[in-house]
Amino acid sequence: MTPRRPHIAIIGAGIGGLTAAACLRRIGIDVRIYEQARGFTRLGAGIQQAPNSIRVLYALGLKDKLLARAFQPETNDSRDYDTGKLTNSLSLGQSVLDRHGVPYFLMHRGDLHAMLANLVPADIIRQNHKLAGLEHRPDRSVRMTFTNGETADADAVIGADGVHSVVREFMLGKEQPRFSGRVAYRTVFPTSLLGGMTPDPCVKWWGPDRHIVSYYVNPRRDELYFVTSTPEPAFNVESWSAKGDLVTLRAAYADFHPRVRAILTACPEVHKWALVERDPLPTWVEGNVALLGDACHPMTPYMAQGASTSIEDGAILSRCLDGVDRDGLHDALRRYEATRKPRTSRIQQTSARNTWLKEPHDADWVYDYDAWSVPLAC
Ligand SMILES: Cc1cc2nc3c(=O)[nH]c(=O)nc-3n(C[C@H](O)[C@H](O)[C@H](O)COP(=O)(O)OP(=O)(O)OC[C@H]3O[C@@H](n4cnc5c(N)ncnc54)[C@H](O)[C@@H]3O)c2cc1C
């Protein structure tokens, strides 16, 4: 008798969970996604995607959509906060294509999320399903309990439920992520509000204890995104929807270059997000349950690699599970962890230092990674 293909449940329909679902379906695995939200909202944020994640997204069939909707900068610049002096300029555009074979994209986060959601049938995403409990069954399957009172069983569960992961908590106990003492103010707004000022296409302005990054999020250059890292040790609310105070934000950047101040003066509203992180976890796997994305390797956003590494996770997970029957699931999940953890731990630790690209240095170890061909751990 042919062994039954495993049925996999994914908790969380974020960028990591959706990518994992698309990668698993690509190899014929039956997947369900359980998401706590009742619907998806288009959040006002940009996202950078480097060649390491673009290789995964291209293999999933997103090349044409990315080329049509995302912005491809010629350079990624670093500038002194007050004089505007260029301290580094990483060549992108054609040179990133020549060097890495795929582009470097800047886009609206909502566009990326929608592209990924469209890769999977809508009926495999169960919204309004907030995970409340997990139970390992004697036959090694896993029973999930949701706050809406429903239960569901799966042969394996992937916790892609973000930095406050409930799945992580079941595995390793309750522990809040570490607040960095810094907040990100961020928003996307029409460039028409800039009153004729032409912003840098992709730039990070480095101040002594704070910075601001801004870039276009589409090829039309009609929307600009900015995100800051601003010291505010008293703030500790992590929410996509916390509104930021524009007066406070503008005051925090009052001694920055006039081009920065023009952006902050023009933006009509801003959201505020506490920046949190964790050290690498002791394990990502228990029985037939494993973690993915921010659930297991949350990081500061200073290398723009949190979502990118979550996307890599999905590709590696699918390679480890390819051809595996129910009895082989635990070993395959361990292999996934062993393949991924050295890389994500290194990126978490590098990102925490917040020196990435301030001055010229080697970015190839991050961008050259090809999740479809790197050797899997034994
Ligand atoms: C300011 C800032 C800027 C960033 N910029 C970049 C960038 O430019 N490039 C980049 O690659 N990364 C960036 N990141 C990082 C990136 O946002 C994250 O790494 C990425 O979103 C992680 O994806 P995820 O799917 O693991 O988690 P999430 O996006 O957090 O998704 C988790 C999902 O799980 C759901 N969920 C949570 N709990 C439950 C539950 N109990 N039951 C069911 N569902 C649940 C949530 O509703 C959500 O849909 C940035 C982060 C920040 C804070």
Q: Enumerate the active-site residues.
A: 215
Q: Which atom of ligand 1 lies at the shortest distance from residue 132's CA? A: 41
Q: Which atom of ligand 1 lies at the shortest distance from residue 227's CA? A: 1
In the DSSP assignment, the letter for residue 334 is: H
The CA-to-CA distance between both ends of the chain, in Å, stands at 28
For the record, the structure tokens of 76 come out as 């990624």
pLDDT at position 2: 54
What are the extents of the domains in the chain? 7-176+278-367
Per-residue pLDDT tens digits for 182-203: 999 999 999 999 998 999 999 9
Closest to 241 in 3D by CA, of 375, 90, 41, 50: 41
Confidence label for 147 from pLDDT (cuts 50, 70 and 90):
very high
Closest to 237 in 3D by CA, of 272, 287, 188: 272
For the record, the structure tokens of 91 come out as 């060549």
pLDDT at position 239: 63
For residue 236, pLDDT over 70 is answered with no
User: To the nearest whole number, what is the mean pLDDT of the chain?
Assistant: 95
Parallel, antiparallel or unpaired: strands 75-80 and 211-216: unpaired
Cβ–Cβ < 8 Å for 100, 368 = yes
Confidence label for 358 from pLDDT (cuts 50, 70 and 90):
confident
Strand positions, DSSP E, the chain: 7-11, 30-34, 46-49, 75-80, 86-91, 105-108, 125-126, 131-136, 142-146, 151-154, 156-159, 178-190, 202-206, 211-216, 223-231, 271-277, 285-286, 289-291
Give 349 or 44, the one with higher predicted confidence.
349
Q: Looking at residues 201-214, what average pLDDT do you find?
A: 97
Q: Looking at residues 157-182, what average pLDDT do you find?
A: 94
Confidence label for 42 from pLDDT (cuts 50, 70 and 90):
confident
Residue 13 Cα to ligand 1 middle (Å):
9
Task: List ligand 1's pocket residues with C-beta within 6 A.
Answer: 11-17, 34-37, 47-48, 129-131, 160-162, 166, 184, 186, 227, 273, 293-295, 301, 304-308, 310
Percent of the chain with pLDDT over 90: 87
Q: Which atom of ligand 1 lies at the shortest distance from residue 16's CA? A: 25
Residue 162 Cα to ligand 1 middle (Å):
5
pLDDT at position 44: 83
- CB count within 10 Å of CB 316 equals 24
Q: Looking at residues 63-76, what average pLDDT do you find?
A: 97
Q: Looking at residues 251-256, what average pLDDT do you find?
A: 98
Q: Which atom of ligand 1 lies at the shortest distance from residue 15's CA? A: 25
Of 22-31, 138-147, 306-315, 346-355, least confident by mean pLDDT is 346-355
Q: Looking at residues 65-87, what average pLDDT do you find?
A: 97
Q: Which residues have CB under 8 Å from 136's CB, separation 6+? A: 142, 286, 287, 288, 289
pTM of the model: 0.96
Report CA torsion sign: 46, 260, 275, 286.
Answer: positive
pLDDT at position 102: 97
Confidence label for 357 from pLDDT (cuts 50, 70 and 90):
confident
Element at 370 (helix H, strand E): none
Element at 5 (helix H, strand E): none
pLDDT at position 285: 98
Residue 61 Cα to ligand 1 middle (Å):
22
For residue 268, pLDDT over 60 is answered with yes
Distance, CA of 212 to CA of 202 (rounded, Å): 11
Parallel, antiparallel or unpaired: strands 131-136 and 125-126: unpaired
Residue 241 Cα to ligand 1 middle (Å):
14
Strand positions, DSSP E, 65-168: 75-80, 86-91, 105-108, 125-126, 131-136, 142-146, 151-154, 156-159
Distance, CA of 263 to CA of 322 (rounded, Å): 48
For residue 13, pLDDT over 60 is answered with yes
pLDDT at position 5: 80
Confidence label for 361 from pLDDT (cuts 50, 70 and 90):
confident
Pocket test for ligand 1, best of 32, 35, 105 (most atoms within 8 A of CB): 35
pLDDT at position 240: 57
Residue 306 Cα to ligand 1 middle (Å):
8
Distance, CA of 71 to CA of 105 (rounded, Å): 6
Q: Which residue do the tokens 């004697």 mark?
A: 138
> Cα–chain-centroid distance for residue 287?
26
As assigned by CATH, the class of the 7-176+278-367 domain is alpha beta
For residue 34, pLDDT over 90 is answered with yes
Q: Whose CA is nearest to atom 51 of ligand 1?
A: 301
Q: Whose CA is nearest to atom 11 of ligand 1?
A: 307
- Residue 270 sits at φ, ψ, to 5 deg, of -150, 150
Secondary structure of residue 268 in the 3-state scheme: coil
For residue 3, pLDDT over 80 is answered with no
Q: Looking at residues 342-362, what average pLDDT do you find?
A: 89
